[in-house]
Amino acid sequence: MAYVDDFPTDARIVRWNLLVAFTALGIGGLFGMIQALHRTDVFRGFVSSADYYSVLTGHGVLLALFFTIFALCGLFTWGVTKSLDRPLPSARFTMAWFGFMFVGALTATVTILGGLVPSMPFNADVLYTFYAPMQAHPAFYTGLVLFIVGTWMAGFDWFRTYWRWRGDNPGERIPLQTFMVLVTMLMWYISSAGVAVEVLFFLLPWSLGIIESVDPLLTRTLFWYFGHPVVYFWLMPAYFIWYTVLPKLAGGRLFSDPLARVVFVLFLLLSTPVGFHHQYTDPGIPEGFKFIAMTNTMFLLLPSFLTAFTVVASIEHGARQRGGSGRLSWLRKLPWDEPAFAGCALAGLMFAAGGFSGIINAGMNINYLVHNTLWVPGHFHLTVGTASALTFMAIGYWLFPQITGKRLRLRSVATVQPYIWFVGMTLMSNAMHRAGLAGIPRRTAEPQYDAVTFQGVVGGVSEMRLQIAIGGVFLFLGLMLFLLVIFATWLGGSRTAPLRVNGTLPTPLSGPEHSPKILDNLKLWTAIAIVLIVLAYGLPLSAMLADGLFAPGSPPI
């Protein structure tokens, strides 16, 4: 039986979430290609340089916020219902959170697109970080608030499904997929509170004219309090897939369930008290606290290394089950022609590279070299732009048949698609990293670096530009092929053909019984997470509050 037969109502909500996510991906990806061509001078016919910032805001918001989080909601709804083997309790409530998120996302998107139409009285050219003193139309902030409230309700929906399951199964270990969802959502509640305060108490009243000014340092700090954990909100659903589905796709089983739990707990503890690593160049934050943030960030590498170890061990187990042998030649036995596997594996590989450039970003002193250069988008197109995005696309090939009851169509297109993305991203991201080292800034329509300063066909700025442009076109092509396969499957397939997908997930080699029960004590981990946040943020934040709430640095009266 496919998932859609067991859980028809939940399958519908999973489909809707993924539909919105992938539509956002399509539009955002088009914007990405326009940016790559525009700023590299290859083709500037799409938008004017003034409109570039509306496009860039659309790209950031649609991809980093809406695509990722709608995809997360689809995947988590699937994971909770499947691993607890029960549907979400109330279809009406589920529709309500989806409705909040959808209306919020639509409102914010329309406001952003207003910036491209001169006659429209609204715009939101504030980029996806919406730092003051840049100001958007109130509709943009209102949309964001609705969207975030929707995600909180979604989390509640998953929690209460779990609580009901707990009522029927006292004393049992939380199934791994549900454990991952709950821990991720705890992190989200703690961290998104920061951006909610920023938007509700400062930016929205300010854009409505209720308050006259805001303190840019305070609002930036509230943003980055949320801004680092949000990157884990993008990544943890990818980890969720790599831990629980990828081993099966490789033909094996998860190496260790307890290690997976430890990793998620570490993310809950460490992903919030690091936000200052995005503010190394901000004045007004004591160096010592920046240093604490750097130290925590380096500790945060631990769960990523543990993941690399566990996931590779599980894949190797799969390859050996398929007859692989030798130190590395087992790699050849992996199903590289299976699009879901290939996409997830390539995403993981690129994530490793992104992790290394992330270590550079995190170093307080070396960060000054790359800060606000094109290096930074080079980095995060490997992480969110590939580790998350390619994993979500790839798992779509496996999940769509199960949530629609239709067999995957255009399989051969699906088979090449992850490789096209991989090639495109290798070109674009590598050239972006190099361009950043050469000092080329990010977030500008007119990076004025020409062949006079950096000469040479190879190794010069013109070569990097060309690579970014070609990479961007490849990526957009990969995206269109993906959407073609998914929509052809959804709209064109028939429900009678056998699915050829088996949705059952094998048990791990080492199960939860090999770990202490304290790992499942969510209250304890949440409490420790909050203590760490107070230590990291308490003093600097109270200094920012004490010097006046609504203006930069004004002393208290």
User: Where on the chain is the footprint of Cu ion (CB under 5 A)?
Assistant: 228
The partner in contact with residue 33, picked from ligand HEM, Cu ion, none with C-beta cut-offs of 5 to 8 angstroms by kind, is ligand HEM
Active site residue 7: no
Active site residue 380: yes
**Member of 17, 68, 81, 272 binding ligand HEM (CB under 6 A):** 68
Phi, psi (deg, nearest 5) at residue 273: -75, 40
Q: Is 303 helix (H, G, I), strand (E, B) or coil?
A: helix
The partner in contact with residue 389, picked from Cu ion, ligand HEM, none with C-beta cut-offs of 5 to 8 angstroms by kind, is ligand HEM
**Member of 2, 18, 55, 63 binding ligand HEM (CB under 6 A):** 63
* Smaller CB separation from ligand HEM, 408 or 432: 432
CA 51 distance to own-chain centroid: 26
Spatial distance between the Cα atoms of 287 and 294, rounded to a whole number of angstroms: 10
Give the range of 137-145, 362-370, 439-447, 449-457 binding ligand HEM by CB under 6 A: 439-447
Give the range of 59-67, 111-119, 241-249, 308-316 binding ligand HEM by CB under 6 A: 59-67
Spatial distance between the Cα atoms of 465 and 451, rounded to a whole number of angstroms: 11
* Smaller CB separation from Cu ion, 228 or 433: 228
Nearest to 17 by CA among 64, 88, 79, 77: 77
Nearest to 75 by CA among 178, 203, 145, 173: 178
Residue 113 contacts ligand HEM per CB under 6 A:
no
* Smaller CB separation from Cu ion, 278 or 434: 278
Active site residue 228: yes
The partner in contact with residue 476, picked from Cu ion, ligand HEM, none with C-beta cut-offs of 5 to 8 angstroms by kind, is ligand HEM
Residue 384 contacts ligand HEM per CB under 6 A:
yes
Q: Cβ(507)–Cβ(252) under 8 Å?
A: no
Active site residue 442: yes
Spatial distance between the Cα atoms of 556 and 554, rounded to a whole number of angstroms: 7
Residue 278 contacts ligand HEM per CB under 6 A:
no
Residue 56 contacts ligand HEM per CB under 6 A:
yes
Query: Strand (E) positions, 450-490?
Result: none
Residue burial 289-305, b: 16+ Cβ < 10 Å; e: rest: bbebbbbbbeebeebbe
Q: Would the CA dihedral through 523, 527, 532, 533 be positive or negative?
A: positive
Spatial distance between the Cα atoms of 557 and 555, rounded to a whole number of angstroms: 6
Residue 185 contacts ligand HEM per CB under 6 A:
no
**Member of 24, 36, 395, 499 binding ligand HEM (CB under 6 A):** 36
Active site residue 514: no
Residue 53 contacts ligand HEM per CB under 6 A:
no
Residue 60 contacts ligand HEM per CB under 6 A:
yes
Which is catalytic among the residues 38, 137, 379, 407?
379
* Smaller CB separation from ligand HEM, 27 or 196: 27
One-character DSSP codes across 263-319: HHHHHHHHSSTTGGGG-TT-TTS-HHHHHHHHHHHHHTHHHHHHHHHHHHHHHHHHH
Active site residue 443: yes
Half-sphere exposure of 221 (CA within 13 A, CB side): 26
Token readout for 82 is 């499947």
Q: Cβ(338)–Cβ(411) under 8 Å?
A: no
Token readout for 366 is 């070396």
Give the residue numbers marked as catalytic: 228, 232, 379-381, 442-443
Which residues lie near ligand HEM (CB under 6 A)?
A: 29, 32-33, 35-36, 39, 56, 59-60, 63-64, 67-68, 127-128, 377, 381, 384-385, 389, 442-444, 472, 475-476, 479
